[in-house]
Structures are given as structure tokens and as C-alpha cells.
């Protein structure tokens, strides 16, 4: 044992303490995953060394053969995992093993419910890595030295997984990291060669470097070799380089968990080798659950990039557009240079070709999922639908393809689920209908009861109901699908085209002409509050509604811009009234102009509330309403 110097005791970051406690209890039912997580980290360390050694071959210190060794001691009740990868110096050890440097960690911890089953999913998607060692160990020792530093700058980290850890400087001849797990009482099953072999085969067969265990010895004790003989127990070849027919579903699933640091199986994957003008292999996955930091713009995203099977970088985000940032996987190119950097990636025309092809491959994979496994696609939509809605604005070339993947709530489905595709909608259109009708709003309850839908209900015309914050913005980019235009039923002068008979149109014109006097009186009463007053063709039951001008921002967009502190251009609504409603008939017959003005303002404010808007002067509305109630009760 080497002499320890510069020994100090440090406290874990608060988040680490919380995570350790929750993880040990929540993941206990699947405790063997600790080995998968530690092997995955060791594999990453080897990848990083291989990459850094491209520019600095001396980092290999004469030992270019990278491997992971796994051993155990039944008597001491320990399991040891050793790699000869990049290793860590003192600062690395404190940073990586004492803190969690992830954006949104506090939000993540707030989402934990105390329900172990639910929390285990969350903790899994957070990626517990090294800390999973404490599921089976009551003490963990880490010995490490960063490649390229002197033997005297080794470091020893030790903790019992509670409030603090110790760090000391030691001599360590070999680069890389050795982790010693002191097993808890009752966890001795892991100090067993057969058990460890099985776990490696189950979870880590796909790891692309050898995982070695001491060879099992079955002879006489006197014939036992003094030094252990090591044997490789995994396949030790990069999974994506193997033919698809040679890879089992379980192997694809375990590889996903390795690249995505996830605990759950993916919903779908696509493994593809491209040959010809461009040569690359891709293995892309659709996760089953959104990461907690999906909407953190600075959160890491992108694919693992390899060049000729040499790991180059994590989170290479140049290969897919931002609206597909949830996709995980690997891309391995033969056409990029081994010393490629992020700056070069951004300028390389090869990347544009690969990005275009990979984007199409992901969209094809999602189309296949929607067609073959609609329930799984619905699950995907709940997790990632809002992100996919960013697509039509970002990716003009694939706008129609993305539109086909979108799902909406609709008046034809009382559940309120976003489960209706545009193809479903077009399959149900009325004869003569050449438009796709939609309505945006703050909530499903608000839009499904909107007065704007009255004429559509009467005529049995389906309307898409859009309630996500992004929807109005989305529809400003999504103007048509399959040759049919989208029409916002709350915007402009509603024209139902062939769905209105000639008799209907003639009757509407006659009513509008007959009500010209009332229109002028309402314009005088409402003044600057409205852009226009007109007879409504939308209403069958309600007295009045507010329509949005053809070029004006809708309520959703106004609220988003206001919330972000941007100046919103002033826009006045169009006041439409139902001439056959008893309240409008009473209003038309009202001779007292003051009373007429009060009633007009009450109808205007009620129409604003029905549209989900807030009143500019709620006190005035209450006063007018109270005045009316007093008159009625007198």
C-alpha cells in the first residue's frame, strides 16, 4: 500500500447526498445494475484516452491495449473493477465523485415523489453512474491516476456513501482507475465469478473493449497458477459494426441503456450502414421517456460520434436538427478525419449530407412506429410531442412528413387525448370540405366549449383543438397538409365554402343587411374597443363572440410574447353577434342608449371571457352586471 499524503475530508454536495439516499432505496430491487454502470464509465474512460492519444500518443505510456478487469475476493467480501483508460487527477476526482454538475438538478430533485417505483424511473433517467456502487457496497475506494501525469500524482478517494468522502495523494504506477467495493452484509453473492460473468453477459456484452475475469480454476490446489489467468467474457466488438441479423433485440436494448444512461428500454431503434459516396453507420434510438432536462436549452444533446470506430465526442449535435434532440445513439463515419473538432464539424459539407439522411431516417422510424405500434407511438407523443411540434418551423424540407406525425385533440374524440392524426382527420372530412379547421386555446375544457364551434357542431364538421403553448406558433408555419389549407375558426370572416348552401349564403346576406342599424349602434357603444362589428355566421346558441383579425396575433402568441417581456402590437378584436339570440333581440329593441351601451359592454366582456382572455377592466364589468341584476330584481 502506498503512502498517502495531502489527505483531506470533504462533504458531498447536497444534491449528491439526496440522490444517494433515494437511489439506494429506489433501485434496490434491481441492484445488479451497479456493475453495468461502472463498466459503462470504464468504457467511456477508455474511449476518452483513445481520442486524446490521437494527438498525444505518449498518453498510452507504452500500453495501447485497453481493457477492463473485474475480480473478487470472497474472504474480504470485495469486488474490484479496474480500467486502463484516461484516469483522473485530484481535481477530477473531487469534481466527478463529489458533485453533480448537471443543469436542472434542483428541478429534478423537486420532481421526486417519495414513491419508490416512480422515483426509480426518474433516478434511472437522471443517470446515476458511479453512485450506483453504494447500492451493494457500504464503502467504496477509488484509486486513480490520469494518463500523462507522474506516478506520484495518483489519488485515493474513499467514502461510506453518507455525508462525506476522503481524498489523498498516492503513488500509482499504472494509469487509469481501480474501484474496490466493500460489499454490504447480505450482498456477498456478488463476490462470485459465475455471478459476475452472468451480469457482464447480460448487460455489457456490447462493450467494445475486452472485459476480463480471472479464469475459473478446477484442478488440484497445488496446480493452481500463482498469478491469475485472465479471460475475456464479453464479445468485445462494437455492436453497431455487427450485421443487424447478428444482433438480438436484448443486445440493442442494453446498448441503448449504455449510450443513453437510461434504465428503461427504448421504444424503437434503427440500425443502418450507408455505403457509396458517403460511408457511415448509424444506430439511432427513440427513448421511452423524456429526460428531465428536455427543455433546458443548455442541456447536452446529440449522438456519440465515432470515426473509424474511434470515439471522438459525446453529444455531437450537428447530425440532427434541434426538434429531434431527444434521439439517442451512435454515428460512426469513415469520411471524417480522426482529428475532427466541433468547429470543423460545423463547416464540413459531409455533415450536411449526413444530417439530412439521418433526419429522414428518424422520421421514417417514427412513421413506422406510428403505423405498426400506435399505442407505443401515443406514449412517444405524450413524452416528445411538443418538441416534435418545433419541426415545421425548423425543417422546411420535411414539413409535410413531420405534419403527418403530429397528433391533436379534436371534436370527434371526447377524451381530450391528442391522438388524431391529420390523415385521420382527412379520412373523415365532409363532402365538399376543402379545409382543415382548428381552434387554439389555453385548455381543452375552454376550447371544447368555445362558441366558435357552434356552427361546426350543427353541421357535423370536425375541428382540431390545439391547447399546447406552442400551437399557435406552430400553425403560423403549418399552412397546409395534403393540399388542404388550415383555417383557424376564430380568425377572420368564417367562410365554409361548399359546406354552406346557396340558400344559407343568401339568408346570411339578407340578415346582415337587415341588421345594419344594430351594427352601427354597437359600433358607437363599443367605440375603440373593437376593430369591427358584424353579424356572425359561427353562432347558433351564444349571443356574441370575438373573432381575431386575419393578420393579428392570437391570444396564445400574445401571452407568450408578453410573458417574455416583448412588446405586443395592439390588435382590436372583431365583435360578432348572433341576430337570432333573445339577448340580441332585446338589445336591438332597447331604446335607452345608456342602458344599450351597458348591455353591449357586458356582452363584449362575456365574449372575451369565453375566448379565454382576461378583462381589461373587470371592475367596470362587475358594476354593469350588478346594475343590471338590481334592475331585473326591482
**pLDDT at site 423:** 95
**Is pLDDT above 80 for 123?**
no
pLDDT level of residue 198 (50, 70, 90 thresholds)? very high
- pLDDT reading at 128 higher than 80: no
Higher pLDDT, 300 or 227: 227
Tell me if 52 sits within 8 A of 146, measured CB to CB: no
Q: What are the structural domains of the chain? A: 5-236 (3.30.565.10), 241-382 (3.30.230.80), 513-550+559-633 (1.20.120.790)
Q: Is 114 annotated as a binding residue?
A: no
Average pLDDT over residues 506-526: 83
Does 622 have pLDDT greater than 70? yes
pLDDT tens digit sequence for 47-98? 999 989 988 999 998 888 999 999 999 999 999 999 999 999 999 998 888 7
Note the pLDDT of residue 127: 53
pLDDT: is 410 or 441 the higher one? 410
CA-based max dimension of the chain: 117
Tell whether 62 is in a known binding site: no
Residue 568 in marked binding region: no
Q: Which residues, in sequence order, are bridge partners of residue 575?
A: 533, 546
Is 385 assigned to a binding site? no
Q: How far apart are CA 329 and CA 501, in angstroms?
A: 55
What is the structure's pLDDT at 242? Answer: 92
The whole-number pLDDT of residue 230 equals: 94
Strongest mean pLDDT among 27-41, 263-277, 297-311, 440-454: 263-277
d(CA 631, CA 634): 5
Contacts of 407 (CB under 8 A, 6+ apart): 378, 381, 385, 418, 419, 420, 421
Packing angle of the helix pair 516-526, 582-589 (nearest 10 deg) = 80
Task: Choose between 201 and 219: higher pLDDT.
Answer: 201
So what's the pLDDT on residue 115? 60
Annotation-wise, does 129 bind a ligand? Answer: yes
Residue 104 among known ligand-binding residues = yes
User: The cell 403505423 sits on which residue?
Assistant: 371
Average pLDDT, the chain: 86
Q: Is 534 helix (H, G, I), strand (E, B) or coil?
A: strand
Q: Judge whether 29 is annotated as a binding position.
A: no
Whether residue 125 is predicted with pLDDT greater than 80 in this model: the reply is no
pLDDT digits (tens, 9 = 90+) for 159-175: 998 888 999 999 999 99
pLDDT value of position 355:
94
Phi, psi at residue 543, to the nearest 5°?
A: -75, -35
Comparing 450-454, 548-552, 622-626, which segment has the lowest mean pLDDT? 548-552
Give the residue-averaged pLDDT of 405-424: 92
- Residue 289: CA count within 13 A, CB half-sphere: 17
- The confidence band for 618, taking pLDDT boundaries of 50, 70 and 90, is confident
For the record, the C-alpha cell of 22 comes out as 433515494
For residue 130, say whether it is annotated as part of any ligand binding site.
yes
Environment class of 34 (CB within 10 Å of its CB; exposed 0-12, middle 13-18, buried 19+): buried
Q: Would you tell me the crossing angle of helices 502-514 and 516-526 to the nearest 10 degrees?
A: 60
pLDDT band at 102 (very low <50, low <70, confident <90, very high): low
Grid coordinates of 258: 449504455
Cell matching residue 387? 418538441
Model pLDDT, residue 320: 94
Which among 180, 176, 233 is positioned nearest to 203, based on CA atoms? 233
Give the integer Cα–Cα distance in Å for 452 and 513.
22
pLDDT beyond 60 at 105: no
614, pLDDT greater than 80: no
Query: Which pairs count as long-range contacts for 418-424, CB under 8 Å and 24+ apart, including other chains?
Result: 418/381, 418/382, 418/385, 419/378, 419/381, 420/464, 421/370, 422/481, 422/482, 423/482
pLDDT in tens, 259-317: 887 888 999 999 999 998 889 999 999 999 887 777 776 677 889 998 888 888 888 88
Percent of the chain at pLDDT exceeding 70: 89
- Smallest CA-to-CA distance from 79 within 69, 90, 71, 87 is with 71
Q: Rounded to the nearest 10 degrees, what angle do helices 349-372 and 374-388 cross at?
A: 140
Q: Give me the pLDDT at residue 109, please.
A: 62
What's the mean pLDDT in 167-190? Answer: 95
pTM: 0.78
Is the per-residue pLDDT at 188 higher than 90? yes
Residue 111 confidence class, pLDDT cut points 50, 70, 90: low
Determine if residue 577 is labeled as part of a ligand binding site. no
Residue 353, burial from CB neighbour count under 10 angstroms (0-12, 13-18, 19+)? middle
Q: How many of the other CB atoms lie within 10 Å of CB of 330?
A: 22
pLDDT at 106 over 70: no
Residue 386 is assigned to a ligand binding site: no
Residue 114 pLDDT = 60
Task: Answer yes or no: is pLDDT of 100 > 70.
Answer: no
Alpha helices in 160-203 (DSSP H): 193-203
pLDDT digits (tens, 9 = 90+) for 334-345: 888 777 777 777
Name, in order, each residue with C-beta under 8 angstroms of 334's C-beta and a sequence gap of 6 or more.
279, 280, 307, 308
Of the candidates 334, 5, 29, 357, which has an alpha carbon nearest to the alpha carbon of residue 170?
A: 5
* 103 annotated as belonging to a binding site for a ligand: yes
Residue 155 above 60 pLDDT? yes
Amino acid at each position: 500500500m502506498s503512502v498517502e499524503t495531502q489527505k483531506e475530508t470533504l462533504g458531498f454536495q447536497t444534491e449528491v447526498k439526496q440522490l444517494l439516499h433515494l437511489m439506494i432505496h429506489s433501485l434496490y430491487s434491481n441492484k445488479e445494475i451497479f456493475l453495468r454502470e461502472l463498466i459503462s464509465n470504464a468504457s467511456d474512460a477508455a474511449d476518452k484516452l483513445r481520442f486524446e492519444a490521437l494527438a498525444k500518443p505518449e498518453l498510452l505510456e507504452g500500453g495501447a491495449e485497453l481493457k477492463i478487469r473485474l475480480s473478487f475476493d470472497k474472504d474480504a467480501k470485495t469486488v474490484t473493477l479496474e480500467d486502463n483508460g484516461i484516469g483522473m487527477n485530484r481535481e477530477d476526482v473531487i469534481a466527478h465523485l463529489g458533485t453533480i454538475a448537471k443543469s436542472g438538478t434542483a428541478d429534478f430533485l423537486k420532481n421526486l415523489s417519495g414513491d419508490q417505483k416512480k422515483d426509480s424511473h426518474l433516478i434511472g433517467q437522471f443517470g446515476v453512474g458511479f453512485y450506483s456502487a453504494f447500492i451493494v457496497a457500504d464503502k467504496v475506494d477509488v484509486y486513480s491516476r490520469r494518463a500523462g501525469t507522474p506516478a506520484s500524482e495518483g489519488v485515493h478517494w474513499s467514502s461510506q456513501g453518507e455525508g462525506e468522502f476522503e481524498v489523498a495523494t498516492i503513488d500509482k504506477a499504472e494509469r487509469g482507475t481501480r474501484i474496490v467495493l466493500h460489499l454490504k452484509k447480505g450482498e456477498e453473492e456478488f463476490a462470485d465469478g459465475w455471478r459476475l460473468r452472468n451480469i457482464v453477459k447480460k448487460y455489457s456484452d456490447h462493450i467494445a473493449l475486452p472485459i476480463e475475469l480471472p479464469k475459473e480454476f478446477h484442478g488440484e490446489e497445488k496446480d493452481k497458477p500463482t498469478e491469475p489467468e485472465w479471460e475475456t467474457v464479453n464479445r468485445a466488438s462494437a455492436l453497431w459494426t455487427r450485421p443487424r441479423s447478428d444482433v438480438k433485440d436484448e443486445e440493442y436494448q442494453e446498448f441503448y441503456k449504455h449510450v443513453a444512461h437510461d434504465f428503461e428500454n427504448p421504444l424503437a431503434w434503427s440500425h443502418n450502414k450507408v455505403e457509396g459516396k458517403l460511408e457511415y453507420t448509424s444506430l439511432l434510438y427513440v427513448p421511452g421517456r423524456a429526460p428531465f432536462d428536455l427543455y433546458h436549452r443548455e442541456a447536452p444533446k446529440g449522438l456519440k460520434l465515432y470515426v473509424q470506430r474511434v470515439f471522438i465526442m459525446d453529444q455531437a449535435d450537428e447530425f440532427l436538427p434541434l426538434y429531434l434532440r431527444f434521439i439517442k445513439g451512435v454515428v460512426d463515419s469513415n469520411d471524417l478525419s480522426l482529428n475532427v473538432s466541433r468547429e470543423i464539424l460545423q463547416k464540413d459539407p459531409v455533415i450536411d449530407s449526413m444530417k439530412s439522411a439521418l433526419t429522414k431516417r428518424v422520421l421514417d422510424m417514427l412513421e413506422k412506429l406510428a403505423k405498426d405500434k400506435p399505442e407505443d407511438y401515443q406514449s412517444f407523443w405524450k413524452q416528445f410531442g411538443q418538441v416534435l411540434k418545433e419541426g415545421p418551423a425548423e425543417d422546411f424540407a420535411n414539413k409535410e412528413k413531420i405534419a403527418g406525425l403530429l397528433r391533436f385533440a379534436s371534436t370527434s374524440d371526447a377524451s381530450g387525448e391528442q391522438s388524431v392524426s391529420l390523415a385521420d382527420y382527412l379520412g373523415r372530412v365532409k363532402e365538399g370540405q376543402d379545409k382543415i379547421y382548428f381552434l387554439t386555446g389555453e385548455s381543452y375544457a375552454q376550447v371544447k366549449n368555445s362558441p366558435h364551434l357552434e356552427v361546426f357542431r350543427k353541421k357535423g364538421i370536425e375541428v382540431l383543438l390545439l391547447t399546447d403553448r406552442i400551437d399557435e406558433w406552430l400553425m403560423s408555419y403549418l399552412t397546409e397538409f395534403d393540399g388542404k389549407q388550415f383555417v383557424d375558426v376564430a380568425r377572420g370572416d368564417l367562410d365554409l365554402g361548399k359546406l354552406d348552401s346557396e340558400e344559407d349564403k343568401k339568408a346570411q346576406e339578407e340578415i346582415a343587411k337587415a341588421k345594419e342599424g344594430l351594427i352601427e349602434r354597437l359600433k358607437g357603444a363599443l367605440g375603440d374597443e373593437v376593430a369591427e362589428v358584424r353579424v356572425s355566421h359561427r353562432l347558433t346558441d351564444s349571443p356574441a363572440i370575438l373573432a381575431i383579425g386575419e393578420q393579428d396575433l392570437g391570444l396564445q402568441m400574445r401571452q407568450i410574447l408578453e410573458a417574455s417581456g416583448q412588446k405586443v402590437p395592439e390588435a382590436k378584436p372583431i365583435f360578432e353577434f348572433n341576430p337570432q339570440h333573445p339577448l340580441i333581440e332585446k338589445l336591438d329593441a332597447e331604446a335607452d342608449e345608456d342602458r344599450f351601451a351597458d348591455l353591449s359592454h357586458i356582452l363584449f366582456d362575456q365574449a372575451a371571457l369565453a375566448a379565454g382572455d382576461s378583462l381589461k377592466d373587470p371592475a367596470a364589468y362587475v358594476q354593469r352586471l350588478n346594475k343590471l341584476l338590481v334592475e331585473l330584481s326591482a
